[in-house]
């Protein structure tokens, strides 16, 4: 856990430049320090565990940082193509059965463009919300569990 590394997202870099005022001084200081190379253990030398956990949780919630563990040097996650095909099939089936084709265009045109975990997580969050909003929460969580298993993510999709 102390070996996890985080980096700023585009939104995080924008916050550094614009200073929106959404962050505490500790969270801002942490955001500045995050470079994708410093581990949690190294960050603990600069702040307390409580400060780190609280600030990191806030930054993740605001989508200003992302974990880089498991990413290759180009920043692309090693998403297994077979697992991604399984995810596609599950999304396709649930789209047809429960969403009346609301995701047809996306599945036909954009799904193949997903290149990293962050992109896939964003898609899964949107898909999950659509299923829940359509009254299929139990189904949404059942599919999500299967998707996590296929990807080997151990139910680590944030915000769901």
pTM of the predicted model, to two decimals?
0.50
In terms of C-beta density within 10 A (0-12 exposed, 13-18 middle, 19 or more buried), how is residue 101 classed?
Answer: exposed
Q: Give the model confidence (pLDDT) of 124-146 as tens digits.
A: 888 999 999 999 999 999 999 99
Mean model confidence pLDDT for the chain: 83
Task: Give yes or no for residue 14 having a pLDDT over 70.
Answer: yes
The pLDDT value given to residue 96: 94
Q: Give the model confidence (pLDDT) of 17-40 as tens digits.
A: 988 888 999 999 999 999 888 888
The pLDDT value given to residue 156: 52
- Spell out the residues 6+ positions from residue 19 whose beta carbon is closer than 8 angstroms to its own: 28
Q: Give the model confidence (pLDDT) of 73-100 as tens digits.
A: 333 345 777 888 899 999 999 999 999 9
């Amino acid at each position: 856990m102390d070996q996890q590394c985080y980096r700023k997202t585009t939104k995080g870099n924008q916050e550094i430049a614009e200073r929106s005022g959404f962050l505490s001084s500790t969270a801002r200081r942490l955001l500045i320090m995050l470079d994708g190379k410093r581990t949690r253990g190294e960050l603990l030398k600069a702040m307390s565990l409580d400060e780190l956990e609280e600030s990191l949780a806030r930054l993740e919630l605001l989508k200003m940082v992302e974990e880089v563990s498991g990413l290759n040097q180009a920043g692309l996650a090693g998403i297994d193509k077979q697992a991604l095909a399984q995810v596609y099939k599950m999304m396709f089936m649930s789209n047809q059965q429960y969403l009346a084709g609301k995701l047809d265009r996306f599945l036909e045109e954009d799904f193949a463009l997903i290149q990293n975990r962050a992109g896939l997580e964003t898609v899964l969050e949107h898909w999950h919300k659509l299923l829940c909003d359509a009254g299929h929460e139990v189904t949404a969580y059942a599919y999500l569990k299967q998707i996590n298993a296929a990807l080997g993510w151990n139910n680590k999709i944030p915000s769901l």
